[in-house]
Structures are given as C-alpha cells and as structure tokens.
C-alpha cells in the first residue's frame, strides 16, 4: 500500500527530489519566485508547529534500540527521500505504528493458519516465497525513489544472507512444530541470548540489574515451556536453533550496515534474493514435497499471498517505526504485540490455558517490562 501510493506521487524513472527540483525551476522560469518563496515559508511554519516524535539519533545517541541490540541509524532512501509524503504529517507516526503492529501480529497468525488450518506444512518453501515477495516489494520501492541501489560485493553480503536465511526459515519451521505461545516465548529469549553471546565472545559487560531482569525472563519462559502440554522434542530443537541463529543475525546486521554504509532497504535489497537462491536447493531437505501432490486450493493460495505481503510490510514498517519514533514508543509497541500474540494463541487456535503456563507468561512479561524500564533509564544517563 505504501509503495503504490508513493508511486502515485512520483512519475516513473524519477525520484521525489528530481521532481521537486523541476517544479521549482518551472516556477522560477515563469517569474513566480515570490509565490514559491511564500509557499515554502508557509510549509516551514506548518512543520514547525506540528509536534514530531524524536528520531533514534536524538532520543538514543548510544545507537541501542532499547532491546539490547545495537542498530545503525537508518539512512533515508536515496538521500532525502520523504517517506509517507502522501500522508498528512500529523497522521504519519500513528499510521507507521498501526502498520507495524498489524503486519507483525498478522503474519504470525496467518502463517500458523497456513500451516495448521490449510495443512500447508512447508515452512522452508513459504520462507522462499516470502523472500521473493520482499525483493519484488523493494524493487517497487526503489523504482519509486524510496531508496537508491548501492553497489555491494556479493561476497560481502553472503555471510549475512546465510544467517538471514537460517533465521527466517527456522523461525517459520518453529511455528510449524510449536504452538503460537511456545513460539513467541522462545523468541523472547533472543535478548538474553544476545547478552550471553556478547558477554562470552565479545567481552561486553552488563549491569547486575540487567542480568537479573533477563534471568527473570528466562525463568518465566522455562516455566511456561515445560508446562506446555503440546511441547515436543523436535519443536523445541527447532526453536532453540532459530533462537541461536536469530541472535547471531541481529548482532551481525548492525555491524554489516556500518561496514558497508548501507541503510536497511539497501542491505535487504541484496539479502532477500541471495537468501532465496541459497534456500532453493535445500527446500526438499526440510520440507517433504512428496506430500505436495496437488496444487493448493484457492483459499490456501490466498492465505500464502497475504502472508507474503505481510512479510514485506513487516520489514518496511520496522524501518519506518525505528526511523520516526523514540525507543520508548518502539518498546511499548513491542509489548503490545507480545501480549496480543500470546493472548491470540489461546483465543484463535483453542490452546487450553494452564495455570502453570499462565504463571510462566506473567513472569516472562514482568521480566521483559523490567528490562525495558532499566534500558530506558540508562538512556538519559548517557546523554
């Protein structure tokens, strides 16, 4: 939706910056420079009078996204691409938050429906389809002038693409073998895993209260996971593998962005197609394609298409939310998504609530909220 509406504003083959320059030149040629200056002044007054949320560069100079993961400040598409120019200024941030929340929550439930209700238990194949759709969506964004393609050597992106491939594929396979609640709780362990890796292998140090909050989170996940009646060995093994690969990917991606001088769009533009090519020959190793004897029915295809579009929108909205809101807003949004997904697992898919599972979830949420509170209190001290 963002890509299509943005295209409506910018002619094919041109960026918004080029269009703005041509319009200004036309006004000057007609001797209408005074009117142009007045219009520019009115626009400047409107922008100054409208409150805008602080960007990560100003709200969090340490470069930490509030989840314990270092992130590079997202560069604008091209040089000064105006994301969401078709949306009135005062509605942009609410729209970005809605887009991220709806797509992030929607893709979890849609993927689970594809696997469980439509019996399309091919997590690796679905990941391949997601990569293709993500690349197509990015190509549309690039064509519309949202960002510029930056030449990058394939070998420089290959290690990151391998981890990206494993991260997404194993995450989808985890959803195939596990309940929504178990799947989401294991994802919560990403931050403790990152802290552990950074401590052991990178010599990073963390305050004791941070470690205690993460320990509380781990205790909650353990109680909920052990008490889950549908927990199984294969699902747990896949979830733990996804956890390890996801953590390594999140550590590497920030380093690679800085090393290559790319923004999120430019890096993902190379990652998506390269990861699809890597994944293609190994699909039969993880998915039993012999059971795919007939072409999926229309309802299954529709669900897969919706899931693929949501996969692209998740990537797009993360870029917009991190770039346009404060770390506090981003974390509150994350808590909202976590709570909705855990609740939805019981409501939508009929998981039987167990007192031990509920207790584990509540302990996990307490640890997550405590950790976030500590991280947000650290930010002012670093300014």
pLDDT tens digits in sequence order for the chain, 383 residues long: 344 434 444 555 555 555 455 554 544 444 444 443 444 344 333 333 333 333 332 333 333 333 333 333 344 444 344 455 567 777 888 888 899 899 999 999 999 999 989 989 899 999 999 999 999 999 998 998 888 999 989 899 998 899 888 889 999 999 999 988 889 889 889 889 988 988 998 888 889 999 999 999 999 998 988 878 888 999 999 999 999 998 888 888 777 878 888 887 888 899 999 999 999 999 998 898 888 877 788 999 999 999 999 999 987 887 777 667 665 566 678 878 888 888 888 878 777 777 888 898 899 999 999 988 888 787 554 43
For residue 296, what is the DSSP state? Answer: P
Residues 6+ away with beta carbon under 8 Å from 241? 166, 170
How many DSSP H helices and E strands does the chain contain?
16, 0
> Which residues share a beta bridge with 70?
64
Q: Cα separation of 169 and 161, whole Å?
A: 12
The residue with tokens 């072409």 is 295
Residues 6+ away with beta carbon under 8 Å from 211? 195
Which tokens go with 41? 């002044």
Q: Cα separation of 277 and 154, whole Å?
A: 12
Q: What is the pLDDT of residue 203?
A: 87
**From its phi and psi, is residue 83 left (phi > 0), alpha (psi between -120 and 50) or beta?**
beta
Residues 6+ away with beta carbon under 8 Å from 350? none
Q: What is the pLDDT of residue 15?
A: 55
Contact 187, 363 (CB under 8 A): no
Residues 6+ away with beta carbon under 8 Å from 106? 306, 310
Q: What is the pLDDT of residue 45?
A: 35
Contact 66, 60 (CB under 8 A): yes
Q: What is the pLDDT of residue 323?
A: 65
Q: Cα separation of 201 and 172, whole Å?
A: 28
Give φ, ψ of 175 to 5 degrees.
-70, -25
Q: What is the pLDDT of residue 140?
A: 93
Range 328-337 contact pairs with CB under 8 angstroms and sequence separation of 24 or more:
328/59, 328/66, 328/376, 329/53, 329/97, 330/65, 330/66, 331/66, 331/67, 331/372, 331/375, 331/376, 333/97, 333/100, 333/101, 334/67, 335/365, 335/368, 335/369, 335/372, 336/101, 337/101, 337/104, 337/105
């Amino acid at each position: 939706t963002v890509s299509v509406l943005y295209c409506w504003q910018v002619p094919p083959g041109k960026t918004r910056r080029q269009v703005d320059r041509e319009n200004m030149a036309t006004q000057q040629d007609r001797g209408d420079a005074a009117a142009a200056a007045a219009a520019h002044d009115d626009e400047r007054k409107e922008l100054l009078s409208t409150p805008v949320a602080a960007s990560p560069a100003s709200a969090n100079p340490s470069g930490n996204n509030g989840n314990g993961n270092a992130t590079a400040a997202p560069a604008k598409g091209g040089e000064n691409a105006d994301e969401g120019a078709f949306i009135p200024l005062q509605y942009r941030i609410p729209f970005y938050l809605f887009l991220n929340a709806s797509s992030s929550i929607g893709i979890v439930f849609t993927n689970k429906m594809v696997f469980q209700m439509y019996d399309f238990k091919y997590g690796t194949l679905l990941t391949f389809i997601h990569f293709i759709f993500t690349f197509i969506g990015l190509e549309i964004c690039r064509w519309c002038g949202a960002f510029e393609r930056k030449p990058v050597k394939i070998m420089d992106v290959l290690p990151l693409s391998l981890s990206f491939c494993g991260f997404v594929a194993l995450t989808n396979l985890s959803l195939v073998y596990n309940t929504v609640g178990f799947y989401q709780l294991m994802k919560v362990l990403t931050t403790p895993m990152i802290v552990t890796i950074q401590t052991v292998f990178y010599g990073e140090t963390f305050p004791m209260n941070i470690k205690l909050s993460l320990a509380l989170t781990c205790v909650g996940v353990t109680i909920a996971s052990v008490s889950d009646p549908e927990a199984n060995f294969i699902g747990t093994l896949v979830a733990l593998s996804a956890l390890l690969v996801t953590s390594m990917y999140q550590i590497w991606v920030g380093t690679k962005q800085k090393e290559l001088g790319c923004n999120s769009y430019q890096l993902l533009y190379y990652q998506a197609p390269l990861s699809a090519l890597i994944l293609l020959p190994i699909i039969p190793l993880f998915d039993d394609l012999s059971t795919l004897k007939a072409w999926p029915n229309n309802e299954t295809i529709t669900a897969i298409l919706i899931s693929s579009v949501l996969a692209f929108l998740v990537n797009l909205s993360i870029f917009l939310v991190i770039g346009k809101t404060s770390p506090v807003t981003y974390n509150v949004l994350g808590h909202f998504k976590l709570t909705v997904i855990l609740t939805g697992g019981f409501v939508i898919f009929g998981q039987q609530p167990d007192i031990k599972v509920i207790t584990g979830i509540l302990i996990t949420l307490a640890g997550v909220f405590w950790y976030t509170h500590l991280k947000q209190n650290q930010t002012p001290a670093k300014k």
